[in-house]
Chain A
Amino acid sequence: MSDFLEAENEERALEQLHEMDCTDGLPVVIPTSDRVVKFILASGLDGDMVLGELGPAMGIATVEKVAVAAVMAGCKSDYMPLVIAAVKAAAEPAFDLSELQATTHCTAPLIIVNGPARHNCGPVASGYGALGPGHRANASIGRALRLCLINIGGGRPGVSDMAIHGHPGKFSYCLAEAEEESPFPPLHVSLGFDTSDSVVTLLGCEAPHSVIYSDDADDPEDAEKLLHILSVGLANLATNNAIFASGTVLVCLGPKHASALARADHTRESIQERLWQLTHAPKTEHMKYGGEFGKAFRDDPEGTYPRIPTPKNILVMVAGGIGLYSMVMPNWGGAANANSAVSVKVESEFFCAIPGLG
């Protein structure tokens, strides 16, 4: 069991949590014993069940500690299976959380939700403004993970989280795939899971970069032009991916852009392949602008290099409202696993609704 703090009222408790650097700087719901116990009960799991170890503090993430974060973040108890899956993904060694928390790059873990849990444990928004304000599940699930990274993982700005600027997604960064609007199979199915599974995919990445393209069904080159524009945003020379030639990036297609690509018989795999080809660039460019990293091709300066290692390192999903925009998220590309995405199945069969608890 965790230690208890005492305060004369909730207002004082909030100030105490701020003073102890236990918040993200915004007000939190006070994690009283009563509230936390209800969230643990709702998870259907034991409070002392260990979900993983979170660096750089190497704190042990138990169900109870995650429930504390979920309460503080303003979650409903329904969201617990998604928060737990996100924490398990962050604790996977392949996610390199310690390095991700400590780097000077701005990277933040983006939670992508697929499968029935989008509805059952949410609803997690996937349409208009899914990455913006106004969606309780998106806002509070992403925030709960952040509070775990602060209070269990020990990621505090300027001390152990050395991001030079950070980005607003470090408060909360969560959305669902718009599976019903997508002409492609759901992302998790392409990653090897069953359609009936619910899956959280976690990717440390930059803030979303908007990509505008005015598609035209009468233009035979429509899809190719769109892919070209996406590739420019995805791995331009200012990104870590272009400079490190590593990492895993995300293309979040707006449904309209997804339709334009499907109209040209593109599949997720052919989009990945073509984007990978289009993100090859001259080595001489890298040598000129890559600074210290530009020495990588000093002994073999001819030809081009892939700014993203393989087509599979380009994740493609569909989300957002209907319009001319898609989003691309470059990433850091550092650490032993080159800032990989990690997918974890959501275990919601133990979840139980607690009467009277939102």
Chain B
Amino acid sequence: MRDGYNIAKRGMPVVSLITEDFWGQGTFVAKSLGMPDIPRVKLPHPVAGLGEIKIAAIANSVVETILDSFENE
């Protein structure tokens, strides 16, 4: 979320990818940094170490949502 904030601060479009366990933390940090509406997309938790096939499946499941988020910015 902090990376998303830093990119947004530079005026660039951004979508933060947050896993479901970190969703609350993402919201908390976004509010604390004064950008409560930074676009974000929820991923399953965890994503690290799942292997390429499962990661690709997750990517396929969220890619449209990510693109939609960019279009709405």
Binding site for B on A (CB under 8 A): 55-58, 98-99, 102, 154, 158-160, 162, 291-292
Instruction: Return chain A residues, CB-CB under 8 Å to B32.
Output: 55-58, 154
Q: Is the CB of B28 within 8 A of A292?
A: no
Once the chains are docked, how many angstroms separate the CA of A57 from the CA of B33?
A: 8
Instruction: Return chain B residues, CB-CB under 8 Å to A102.
Output: 25, 29
Q: Which secondary structure dominates where chain B touches chain A?
A: helix
- Contact A291:B28 (CB < 8 A) given known A58-B33, A98-B2, A162-B22: no
Instruction: Return chain A residues, CB-CB under 8 Å to B22.
Output: 162
Tally of B interface residues using CB under 8 Å: 11
Q: Is the CB of B25 within 8 A of A291?
A: no
The minimal Cβ–Cβ distance linking B50 to chain A, given in whole angstroms, is 11
Q: Is the CB of B25 within 8 A of A159?
A: yes
B48 CB–A CB distance under 8 Å: yes
* A–B Cβ pairs within 8 angstroms, 12 of them: A56-B28, A56-B29, A102-B25, A102-B29, A159-B25, A160-B25, A160-B28, A160-B29, A162-B21, A162-B22, A291-B49, A292-B48
Binding site for A on B (CB under 8 A): 2, 21-22, 24-25, 28-29, 32-33, 48-49
The minimal Cβ–Cβ distance linking B13 to chain A, given in whole angstroms, is 24
- Contact A159:B33 (CB < 8 A) given known A98-B2, A291-B49, A292-B48: no
Q: Is the CB of B29 within 8 A of A159?
A: no
Closest B residue to A104 by beta carbon equals B22
Q: Is the CB of B2 within 8 A of A159?
A: no
Q: Is the CB of A292 within 8 A of B49?
A: yes
Q: Which secondary structure dominates where chain A touches chain B?
A: loop
Once the chains are docked, how many angstroms separate the CA of A75 from the CA of B48?
A: 42
Instruction: Return chain A residues, CB-CB under 8 Å to B48.
Output: 292
Instruction: Return chain A residues, CB-CB under 8 Å to B33.
Output: 58
The minimal Cβ–Cβ distance linking B33 to chain A, given in whole angstroms, is 7
Q: Is the CB of B28 within 8 A of A159?
A: yes
- Contact A159:B24 (CB < 8 A) given known A57-B32, A58-B33, A102-B29: yes
Once the chains are docked, how many angstroms separate the CA of A154 from the CA of B25?
A: 11
Once the chains are docked, how many angstroms separate the CA of A55 from the CA of B25?
A: 12
Q: Is the CB of B2 within 8 A of A158?
A: no
Once the chains are docked, how many angstroms separate the CA of A162 from the CA of B21?
A: 9
Closest A residue to B28 by beta carbon equals A160
Given contacts A55-B32, A159-B28, 14 further A-B contacts (CB under 8 A): A56-B28, A56-B32, A58-B32, A102-B25, A102-B29, A154-B32, A159-B25, A160-B24, A160-B25, A160-B28, A160-B29, A162-B21, A291-B49, A292-B49
The minimal Cβ–Cβ distance linking B46 to chain A, given in whole angstroms, is 10
Once the chains are docked, how many angstroms separate the CA of A154 from the CA of B27?
A: 13
Closest A residue to B48 by beta carbon equals A292
The minimal Cβ–Cβ distance linking A62 to chain B, given in whole angstroms, is 18
Instruction: Return chain B residues, CB-CB under 8 Å to A55.
Output: 32
Closest B residue to A102 by beta carbon equals B25
Q: Is the CB of A158 within 8 A of B24?
A: yes
Instruction: Return chain A residues, CB-CB under 8 Å to B29.
Output: 56, 98, 102, 160
Closest A residue to B29 by beta carbon equals A56
Instruction: Return chain B residues, CB-CB under 8 Å to A291.
Output: 49
The minimal Cβ–Cβ distance linking B52 to chain A, given in whole angstroms, is 12
Once the chains are docked, how many angstroms separate the CA of A159 from the CA of B31?
A: 13
The minimal Cβ–Cβ distance linking B45 to chain A, given in whole angstroms, is 11
The minimal Cβ–Cβ distance linking B23 to chain A, given in whole angstroms, is 10
Instruction: Return chain B residues, CB-CB under 8 Å to A292.
Output: 48-49
